[in-house]
Structure 1
Amino acid sequence: MSGKELEGKVAIVTGASRGIGRAIAERFAAEGAKVVVNYFSNEAEAGKVVDGIKQGGAEAIAVRGDVSKSADVKHLVESAVKQFGHVDILVNNAGVMVTKPALEASEEDWDRTIDVNLKGAYLCSKEVAPLMMKQQGGRIINMSSNSGLYHPSAMRFTEYVVSKAGLNGLTKALALAWGPHITVNAICPGWIKTDMIADTDPEVEARILGETALGRWGTPDEIAGAAVFLASRDANFITGELLIVAGGRGMH
């Protein structure tokens, strides 16, 4: 890829106030996209993302919203269209993780994880799809996880793994339902150094790195690079795929 791959495109990135979502929003802006930075609670950090994008010469707005609530999702998409006129790219990145064994997790833990990680992606995708179909083009990128494919992870956070396995299924189902004009793909990161896993036990960290061929954590910017690829014209003929970006962990 060369030049600004996303020039003239409008992208919504959910959960973009920190971590992977923030990195994607910033990379998309650097590639010429106008970016809608969705956040749930951290207005200050979302504002910093928008300010940084604007300082770099690109356009962005921040929009609060709970992706598990249809009214919030409708407001998010309407805000994007009102500000920028259309939506070309949706990145379903918002997510939560409960790190409890299955017998210790509550019904509320289950509901919140499934609601945000799976239902949220469905609601956001369903809201942008008619717009993308009308303009005969669009990209939906779901932020899944290698945990949804690599079963030993289920020992620690069952709800999260199930939500991501479901997201993989949703990716394929929507790719079939919404072709030929909309491509739907998922990125399955391995262990990425973000706030979400900042409190990982040292023994667990050592085991994970020992299972990773490249022997290190991934970075949010490396996931952002994969998202830029799937949003670019180089991925025109790719849909329904799960792109694993995990440093070789769990190869099978």
Structure 2
Amino acid sequence: MTAPGQTENEATPLEWREGDMPYSTQFGDHFYCQTDGRLECGHVFLAGNGLPERWQRPGEFRIGELGFGTGLNFCETWRQWEQTAPFDASLHFTSFELLPLAANEIDRALAHWPEVDAERKALTALWPERPEGIVSLNLNDRVRLTVVCGEAGTNVPLWDGIFDAWFLDGFAPSRNPTMWSLDLMTAVCEKTAMDGTFATYAAAGFVRRNLQAAGFVVERRPGFAGKREMLCGIRLSKDPA
């Protein structure tokens, strides 16, 4: 969730709408889908990346994310991982976030979903009081979370790691175009394993074009909760026939 001219120590201006739904007054956007953010995660980010089917293998599966927000995507992914992943597999979830929320804000937002109560409690128990730099949390012996605080446009190109799947979940492109720029999408593609994938709720034309120009083969799919389209794609290891 990137905004030009900000530092990582600035707090995100929040409003709480409809009880416990966080809304960014800075970006003029909700942190997640108003219909049901947890179900949206399943439809867009998990299914859009072919998960959990793709993590049915031994070894480490690496997910990158733009926009950690409330941690909802991580908690839902972790929940489904625990239910479906083989015992000889591990998950490393890395998220790039300019303005990390406080533990009490994460706790309040995620309390809406009893399905992720265990994950919410484990996350907030370990979350630092003032997250900055690189936050690295070992949630258990198979699941690791890394949150890289600061500008994604700076940190993604410098990150020493490759990802099997990306969740592109910044604020709406019309509200925060920097998060969807060609430079950042190019960096995302360069940090994607061959035959690795991305998925996003966004379907704006310039986002699709930037992802294609970055090197992804992009596909339109039906969006969540009546939204007409979402985007997903792959970094092919060879040119399509």
Q: TM-score, normalised by structure 2?
A: 0.43
Query: Is the strand fraction higher in 1 or 2?
Result: 2
Query: Is the helix fraction higher in 1 or 2?
Result: 1
Q: TM-score, normalised by structure 1?
A: 0.41
